Structure 1
Amino acid sequence: MTATSAKAMTYDNKGILSTLGRDGLLQVILIANTVLMLFPVVIMVFSGFKSNMEIFNNPFAVPDFANLSNYIDVWTQTNFVRYLFNSVFVTGFSLLLILVLGTMAAYAIARYEFFGASFLLLFFIAGLTLPLKLAIIPLFILFRDLGILNSYWALIAVYVAMGLPSTVFIMTGFIRSLPRELEDAARMDGASELRIMWSVMLPLTRPAMIISAIHNLVPIWNDFFFPLVFIQNDALKTLPQGLTSFMGEYTTDWGVMFAGLTLAAAPITVVYVILSRQFINGMTSGALK
């Protein structure tokens, strides 16, 4: 072995060790960040199985998971079920409208050439920079005059307006990346424009639709501000607003409160995981094809 080859091997070994050390440090940082992010969630879940005394005396102790009294109280002695239904309805209907309207607008902007298409896209993009909370007073007056104040439709209208800009932006970029040969082939086979959009293009845009759904799902589900302003009837409150009623003026049953928070976080967590897996599977199947 020559001196040159020996030096090259030494440099290669140093490079491998440096890469392994950097990767190892990155793994440690990611694990530490995961623990830090999950720690409050674990404490919340544990506290849902404890009484007030156990929470204050041993907040970090592992509880008796067979003690379901707090969850039974949440389900039977509060309006949690009604709040859950309201959140599911408002979030689901808002996402449906966001995806339908956003996909249609993005398809028109991305696939058809017409006067003002670029301006229309810029109009939607501008919506990403303008928070609707700045217009809360005009919105309140508008909804009052329309007669939809203190109803589901006030929240749905706001959430659709919030979600459309990001959805149109994401979907437009994705649809523009799809090959036009697919449309041309469908037109040659006699397919209508609606048929091309529904049967050819929409199945290919599934990953982008999943991204848009995930992007809008969590903010809508967790929103507290707009229900607080537009909803006064207790029967119409969503979970973030309704859970505040669990806190008493003088005393609070923290075990019931944490149980309610755990149940409120469970559906959105499950849906988020399912959508994430579908997004990964969609991208993988697209790569294989």
Structure 2
Amino acid sequence: MRRLSAGAVVAYAALAVYAVVSLYPFAWMVSGAFKDRLEILEGGHLIPRRPTLATLADTWSRLHFFDYFLNSLKVTGLTVLGVLVVYSLAGYAFAMVDFPGRRFVFWFFVALLFVPSITVLLPLTILENKLNILGTHTGLILPFVNGTAPLAVLMLTAAFRAVPHDLHDAATADGAGELRIFWRVYLPLARPTLITIGVLTAVPTWNEYVLTRVSLNDESRYTLPLALERLASGTVPSYNEIMAGSLILVVPVIVLFLALQRYFVNGLSGAVKN
């Protein structure tokens, strides 16, 4: 049996503490979703004494889940599609195509990682108002696609550079053009990275609140975070229903991550190695 060094023990202990601190609020949310209104006000205990599904059922009905779920699915799905299409092409260009100013443009994209998104909220709102897309789903999708640019370009460029150049030379010798080489050779080999970027794009887009709150006024276009806010803004908020709504909101994200976990881990490890 291998003995752990003192440094490893400290690192594992710190990670364990971090895991407990991170999971504790989530555990309370799950617990509250199965409590009735009286028990949630009593507090003091994590495990429900009188577990009930009535809170989830009532919240599901009040939240009008499917109406807002379709809006969230539309915004998230089109955002992920836009990110994968636009930045896979951009990443391939940065990795394989020699054009003037390539290094400058690439590092410009990377530098945008350090720009807080909140700083562009006001100019973005003004621009969307002038373009007549403020308050529409298009006005959400385009900024979300643009906001993912730095990370997506960085990861995809690294993934495409890791592909042996001999494959590109062989495909060129067979008469394939750049688009065909990109589609038939490089894109399949970058699948773990593409899935990783898809997950990293889908999760914050699904949970986005600030821009949607500023942009959307028509309730028929609300996404799930705004529907949850409306549920919580009652005169006397029901904390068990708020926790139930939060659980309903995060379940699709958890299912997505669990389904794609293997590809996600492979994509991250590949990006770190590159």
> If the length of structure 2 is used for normalisation, what is the TM-score?
0.89
- In structure 1, what is the equivalent of residue 165 of structure 2? 180
1:256 is matched with which residue: 223, 234, 241?
241
Q: Please tell me whether Structure 1 or Structure 2 has the larger radius of gyration of its CA atoms.
A: 1
C-alpha separation in 2, matches of 1:215 and 1:204 = 19
**Match 2:254 to one of 269, 284, 287:** 269
- 1:233 maps to what in 2? 218
Q: Which moved more, 1:264-273 or 1:72-81?
A: 72-81
Q: How does 1:1-289 map to 2 (within 5 A)?
A: 19-63=4-48, 67-280=52-265
Matched letter for residue 227 of structure 1: T
AA partner of residue 125 (structure 2):
F
Confirm or deny: 8 A CA contact 1:90 1:155 kept in the other structure.
yes
The one-letter amino acid of 2:148's match is: G
Residue deviations 1:74-104, cap 9 Å, x none?
2223333222222221111101101110010
Q: Is the contact between residue 125 and residue 165 of structure 1 (CA under 8 Å) also seen in structure 2?
A: yes
Q: State TM-score, norm by structure 1.
A: 0.84
User: Following the alignment from structure 2 to structure 1, what is the Cα–Cα distance between the partners of residues 42 and 268?
Assistant: 49
Alpha-carbon spacing, 1:138–1:250, altered in 2? closer, same or farther (3 Å): same
Name stretches of at least 5 consecutive residues in structure 2 with no aligned partner: none
Q: Is the alpha carbon distance of 1:65 and 1:116 closer, same or farther for their aligned partners in structure 2, counting shifts above 3 Å?
A: farther
Is the 1:43–1:60 Cα contact (8 Å) retained in structure 2?
no
Q: Is the 8 A contact 1:86 1:237 kept in 2?
A: yes
Distance in 2, Cα, partners of 1:275 & 1:30: 23
Deviations 1:99-151 (A, max 9, x none): 11001011011101111212221232232232342232322222122221111
Change (3 A) 1:258 1:283: closer
The secondary structure found in structure 1 opposite 2:171 is: helix
Kindly indicate whether the alpha-carbon contact (under 8 Å) linking 2:63 and 2:227 is maintained by their aligned counterparts in 1: no
Give how far 1:25 is off.
4.3
Runs of 5+ unmatched residues, structure 1: 1-15
Displacement of 1:191 in angstroms is 2.5
Q: Is residue 196–residue 267 contact of structure 2 (8 Å, CA) maintained in 1?
A: no
Matched residue count: 270
The residue identity in structure 1 corresponding to 2:214 is: V
Provide closer, same or farther for how the CA distance between residues 172 and 136 of structure 1 changes in structure 2, counting only shifts above 3 A: same
In 2, Cα distance between equivalents of 1:115 and 1:136: 32
> What SS does structure 1 have at the residue aligned with 2:237?
coil
Residue by residue over 1:175-233, the C-alpha shift from the partner in whole angstroms, topping out at 9 and shown as x without a partner, is: 12221100111122232322211111111112222332233232222221100111111
Q: What is the aligned-residue identity percentage? A: 33
Counterpart Cα distance in 2 of 1:247 and 1:280: 35
Question: 1:54: how far off?
Answer: 0.2
Asked whether the equivalents of residues 231 and 242 of structure 2 are also in contact (C-alpha less than 8 Å), the reply is: yes
